[in-house]
Amino acid sequence: MGIRLIVSQMEHPQGFRLAGELDISSAPELSDSLEPVLRRGGDVTLDLSDLSFMDSTGLQVLIRTAIRMDGNGRLILRSPGNLVRSILVLALHTDKLPNLVVED
């Protein structure tokens, strides 16, 4: 069993700090946390600096969230570590998801 996901809400910028592992067992927790913020609209930032692992299920949550936000804001992925960044680079074509931004 891996490190559980910890989702901490941030006020400024609007969003969440993720720590631990975003995988099949924890992806629903992130989806549930994002729901009320997405209803409000605007940009949503996910601080990924303490996210140590992400599998395809976690990636699907990010993609679905970005698609859902189309026209209502951007999903900003801030400070992914090397492993998470490599997954994002390999899997995402940000030119096809213009409202998904990966920042250092």
In the chain, the percentage of residues whose pLDDT exceeds 90 is 74
Q: Which domains does the chain carry? A: 6-103 (3.30.750.24)
Note the pLDDT of residue 10: 95
Residue 45: which residues within 8 A CB-CB, separation 6 or more?
A: 10, 13, 14, 15, 16, 76, 78
19-53 burial, b if ≥16 CB within 10 A, otherwise e? bbbbbeebbebbeebbeebbeeeebbbbbbeebbb
Q: Please report which confidence band the pLDDT of residue 95 belongs to, taking 50, 70 and 90 as the band edges.
A: low
Give the residue with greater pLDDT, 29 vs 70.
29
Note the pLDDT of residue 94: 57
Q: Please report which confidence band the pLDDT of residue 80 belongs to, taking 50, 70 and 90 as the band edges.
A: very high
In this predicted model, what pLDDT tens digit does every residue of 44-77 receive, in sequence order? 999 999 999 999 999 999 999 999 998 899 999 9
93 has pLDDT over 70:
no
Q: From CA 21, how far away is CA 40, in angstroms rounded?
A: 26
